A and B are shown apart, each in its own frame.
Chain A
Amino acid sequence: GAVVSQHPSRVICKSGTSVKIECRSLDFQATTMFWYRQFPKQSLMLMATSNEGSKATYEQGVEKDKFLINHASLTLSTLTVTSAHPEDSSFYICSAREQGAYEQYFGPGTRLTVT
């Protein structure tokens, strides 16, 4: 099956610093990648959709200047949380979709804690 990796799996950072999370499709080319945020015991909340070589499309209410998304290649997308604050602490999970395919394959997620 399709494999998506995500790094780091856990990160603790101080308030005001920036954190970069990488999402890689290991055995397929990801035309589209999605970034989600998940609060405890809740469903996934889509933050943004990115297509390779294009600017990401952000969902309503998601600050694009705070959550910078780059999808520079067909196998890599990054999410940078800039000037992180404790309220940004959450589980961030990416997924990737191959061109022509319906299903999204997910990375293992990144647990971000901002102190």
Chain B
Amino acid sequence: AQKITQTQPGMFVQEKEAVTLDCTYDTSDQSYGLFWYKQPSSGEMIFLIYQGSYDEQNATEGRYSLNFQKARKSANLVISASQLGDSAMYFCAMRESMDSNYQLIWGAGTKLIIKP
């Protein structure tokens, strides 16, 4: 079974609208963390936001917020007021506590295209 599932292979969104990118995860650990990375066409992976399993508040970083629903095992990324520069691949990833190196388990990604 996949540990990280991103069900949206691609999304088209009108500029200035809010975007929600879905991510569900599967783990039996109590301590884990969830990440979102952005990969523009240049290829570089850009760290966006992190949510720890024990964090009570949803993580926010500027226009990015993580809608963390622990019981549903979902960690959706919300981008407010989308911009053309937000067009990119977005990957959800998880670290589990059992890995001392904090390896990440990656989702398949969602390609987001912002329309002018």
Contacts and interface: CB of A to CB of B under 8 A. Distances in A.
Chains A and B are bound partners: yes
Interface of A: 1, 32, 34, 38, 42-44, 46, 49, 51, 57, 91, 93, 95, 97, 102-109, 111
Contacts of A106: 37, 44-47
Interface residues of B, number: 21
Contacts of B107: 43
B44 A102 contact: no
Which of B35, B91, B103 has the most C-beta atoms of chain A within 10 angstroms of its own C-beta?
Answer: B103
B11 interface: no
A97 B50 CA distance: 14
Given A34-B103, A42-B109, 16 more contacts: A1-B47, A42-B108, A44-B45, A91-B43, A93-B43, A97-B102, A102-B35, A102-B95, A103-B50, A105-B47, A106-B37, A106-B47, A108-B42, A108-B43, A109-B43, A111-B43
Contacts of A38: 43
Contact of A46 (B37, B45, B103): B103
A6 to B, nearest CB: 9
24 contacts: A1-B47, A32-B101, A34-B103, A38-B43, A43-B109, A44-B91, A44-B106, A49-B103, A57-B101, A91-B43, A93-B45, A102-B35, A102-B50, A102-B95, A102-B102, A103-B47, A103-B50, A104-B47, A104-B102, A104-B104, A106-B44, A107-B44, A108-B42, A109-B44
A34 B105 CA distance: 12
A70 to B, nearest CB: 17
Q: Which 8 residue pairs spanning A and B have beta carbons closest together? A: A106-B45, A109-B43, A108-B44, A43-B106, A49-B101, A32-B101, A43-B108, A44-B106
A1 B47 CA distance: 10
A38 B35 CA distance: 18
Nearest to B105: A46
